[in-house]
A and B are shown apart, each in its own frame.
Chain A
Amino acid sequence: MTITAEHRPPYTHGDLHRLMGLMTGDEKHGPAATSTLDALWVLYDRVLRVGPERMGDPERDRFLLSKGHGPMAYYAVLAAKGFVPVEWLPAFGSYDSPLGHHPDRVLVPGAEIGSGSLGHGLPLAVGTALGLRAQGRTEPRVWVLVGDAELDEGSNHEAIAFAGPAGLDRLHTVVVDNSSASHARPGGIAARFEAAGWSTVTVDGRDHDALYAAFTAPHPGRPHAVVAQVEPKSA
C-alpha cells in the first residue's frame, strides 16, 4: 500500500541524524531514541495516512508512541514531516519548550498521546481502536510503538490479551527490540502476541523494505504485531 504525497516534504531519512543532533540534554536516552528511528521513518514516510494538514481528521491513522523516553527520533520525524517546526528542536527540554524529554500530546502537534510512564500506550491504543469501531470508522489504523523492556509492564499484557479475542484488526503494535530487558523472556516476544491471537512478524529493524513489508502484511480478523530487532542497547 503506497501513499501518494500531495506535498513533498523537504527532509529525507538522511536528514534525521542532523535533526536529532539539534536536541541535546537527554543523552542518557540516545540509544533509546536511535533504536526507533528506522521504524518511525518507514511508518511516517510510507505507511501512516497522517499529515500536518489532517491532524483533526477523524479518518486519519493514529500513531501512539508508548515508548516515550528518548523521543528525539520521534521529534525529528515529526519535524521532517512538518508537524513540528524545526526551529523548536534546539530548545528541547527548556522551560518554555513544547518538546519535553517525554512527549505531551497537549503540547506537541501531531502527538496522539503523551507518554513517559511505560505500559500506557497499548491500553490507550485498544481504547482508540474500540472507539473508532464503535463510530463505524473502519478505515483508520491504530499503531502503537513499544520497547522490549517496556513489555515488562503488566498493563501491556492486559491489552494484548484482550485485543486478540476481541478481533481488533485495525490495531498494530511495533515492538522495537534492542535487548533492553533485564530478564529472559522464554519463547520470545512474538510468541506472547501469538498466544493471545495476534498476527506477528519479526524483522530487522534497520531494513526499511523489510519493515515496510512487515507493517503492511495482511492480517485479516486479527491485530498485528511487528517485532523490529535492532542492535542491543548495550552493544
Chain B
Amino acid sequence: MDTMRDRFVPVVSRLLDEDPRVAVVLAEIGAASLAEAQLRHPERVINVGIREQLLVGAGAGLALTGMRPVLHTFASFLVERPFEQVKLDLGHQGVGAVLVSAAASFDWPAGGLTHMAPGDVALLDTLDGWTVHVPGHPDEAETLLRHAVAAGDDKVYVRLSVQSNADALPVDGERFLPVREGRSGVVVAVGPMLDSVLDATEGLDVTVLYATTVRPFDATALRRATRTAGTDVVLVEPYLAGTSTAAANDALADVPHRVLGLGVARPELRRYGTVEEHLAAHGLDVRSLRERIDGFVRGGRAGTRG
C-alpha cells in the first residue's frame, strides 16, 4: 500500500492543475518528489531551502495575495520550529494556509526525537481557529487534503503518517464516525489508531467513535454516544497522551464523567527500532490498549470513590 506521504504528491499535483490559487511551499524535504509538478507550475511549487521560518512566512505572504498555500515538511520542522510564524504570520495577520506534515510522532523511530513531534497538535491547541485532520489511511488523507485546500482561507493542519488502518472509511472532514455500538463506555479512536482500538475492544461492550478530524472536536458526537454508552470516555490518540482530554471534558462539562487520555508518553524514549516497538513502548499496542481500556471502564462500573 502506498503511504499517505506517497499519496500527497499526486494529490497536490492534481490540485495545482485544477486550482490556480494553490501554491506548494517546501523547505527542501519533498522537493525531489515534486520536481515534476514544479516543471509544470514553476511559479507555484516553491522550495525555499532549509529555512522553516521562511517556509511559514512566505506561505503567509502568498495567502496575503489571495493564494491558497500548502506548506509541507516534517511535523517538528513545520509546527514546532517556526511556531511564532504560525502564531503571527498566519493567525495574527488573519490569513490561513494548509500545513501538511509527515513523520508524525515516531514514523522514523531510528531518527530520534529531533524528527518526532508528538506535541504538534497540543501546540496548535494554544492557538485559535485551527482545523486539525488526522487521516487513518491514504484514501482518507486524499479526501482530507482536498477538503483542507477547498476550505476557503482557513488554517488547516493535516497530519500524515506511515501508520495506517487496513481500510479507509468515508470521512467527511468534520464529524466522528460511529464504528461500533456498546453500552459501557465510549472509545474515541483517532486516525491510524482505529484498527488497534477495534482489535483491543473486541468483546468489550464499548462504543467506538472514529475521529479523523479532531479540531474542531466533535462534541456533539461524543455527547450523543454517551447517552447510550455512558460517560466513561477513553481517547486513543497517535500523538501526545491527553491532547484531547480537555476537549472531551468540555463536551461533557454538565454531566459527571471520566476521561482517560491515551497516546504518546511525554518522556523521550531514546530508543530506535520499529514503529511497532514504539507503539508497544507507549502502551498503544493491542494488548496494552485492551488492558488499559478494560481496566478503566471496569473501574467506572465498580463505582469506586477513589
A interacts with B:
yes
Chain A residues close to B by CB (< 8 Å) = 58, 104-106, 112-114, 117, 119-120, 122-135, 137, 154-155, 158-159, 161-162
Cβ contact within 8 Å between A127 and B57: yes
Given A126-B61, A127-B59, 5 more pairs with CB closer than 8 A: A123-B61, A127-B57, A127-B65, A131-B64, A134-B65
Cβ contact within 8 Å between A114 and B65: no
Cβ contact within 8 Å between B92 and A112: no
A219 to B195, CA, bound (A): 60
A162 to B49, CA, bound (A): 8
The answer to whether residues A155 and B53 also contact, given A123-B85, A134-B43 and a CB cut-off of 8 A, is: yes
Cβ contact within 8 Å between B65 and A123: no
Say what secondary structure dominates the interface of chain A. helix
Residues of B within 8 A of A114 (CB): 88, 92-93
B169 to chain A, nearest CB (A): 36
A225 to chain B, nearest CB (A): 17
Residues of A within 8 A of B89 (CB): 120, 123-124
Chain A CB within 10 Å — which of B51, B54, B92 has the most?
Answer: B54
Residues of B within 8 A of A104 (CB): 92
8 A Cβ contacts from B81-101 to A: 84-85, 88-89, 92-94
The answer to whether residues A131 and B54 also contact, given A105-B94, A162-B48 and a CB cut-off of 8 A, is: no
Cβ contact within 8 Å between B65 and A135: yes
Residues of A within 8 A of B66 (CB): 58, 131, 135
B64 touches which one: A112, A120, A122, A155 (CB < 8 A)? A112
Q: Can you name 14 A-B pairs with beta carbons within 8 Å?
A: A106-B93, A113-B93, A119-B53, A120-B57, A123-B54, A123-B60, A124-B60, A127-B63, A128-B62, A131-B23, A131-B63, A131-B67, A135-B66, A162-B49
The closest CB in chain A to the CB of B97 belongs to A127
Cβ contact within 8 Å between A134 and B67: yes
Chain B CB within 10 Å — which of A104, A119, A131, A159 has the most?
Answer: A131
Chain B CB within 10 Å — which of A58, A130, A137, A161 has the most?
Answer: A130
Cβ contact within 8 Å between B62 and A134: yes
Cβ contact within 8 Å between A155 and B92: no
The closest CB in chain B to the CB of A126 belongs to B58
Residues of B within 8 A of A123 (CB): 53-54, 56-58, 60-61, 85, 89
Residues of B within 8 A of A122 (CB): 57
The closest CB in chain A to the CB of B57 belongs to A123
B43 touches which one: A112, A126, A133 (CB < 8 A)? A133
Cβ contact within 8 Å between B57 and A130: no
Is B44 on the interface with A (CB-CB < 8 A)?
A: yes
A196 to chain B, nearest CB (A): 12
Residues of B within 8 A of A112 (CB): 64
Chain A CB within 10 Å — which of B53, B58, B64, B85 has the most?
Answer: B58
A3 to chain B, nearest CB (A): 22
Residues of A within 8 A of B69 (CB): 127
Residues of B within 8 A of A154 (CB): 53
A91 to chain B, nearest CB (A): 22
A127 touches which one: B43, B49, B58, B92 (CB < 8 A)? B58
Chain B CB within 10 Å — which of A58, A127, A134, A135 has the most?
Answer: A127
B24 to chain A, nearest CB (A): 11
A195 to B20, CA, bound (A): 34
Is B46 on the interface with A (CB-CB < 8 A)?
A: yes
Cβ contact within 8 Å between B61 and A131: yes
The answer to whether residues A128 and B43 also contact, given A123-B53, A123-B54, A162-B51 and a CB cut-off of 8 A, is: no
Chain A CB within 10 Å — which of B57, B61, B63 has the most?
Answer: B61
A14 to B88, CA, bound (A): 35
Residues of A within 8 A of B62 (CB): 127-128, 130-131, 134
Residues of A within 8 A of B84 (CB): 117
A112 to B44, CA, bound (A): 22
Chain A CB within 10 Å — which of B20, B59, B65, B92 has the most?
Answer: B65
A91 to B65, CA, bound (A): 31
Cβ contact within 8 Å between A120 and B88: yes
Cβ contact within 8 Å between A130 and B64: no
8 A Cβ contacts from B17-76 to A: 20, 23, 43-44, 46, 48-49, 51, 53-54, 56-67, 69
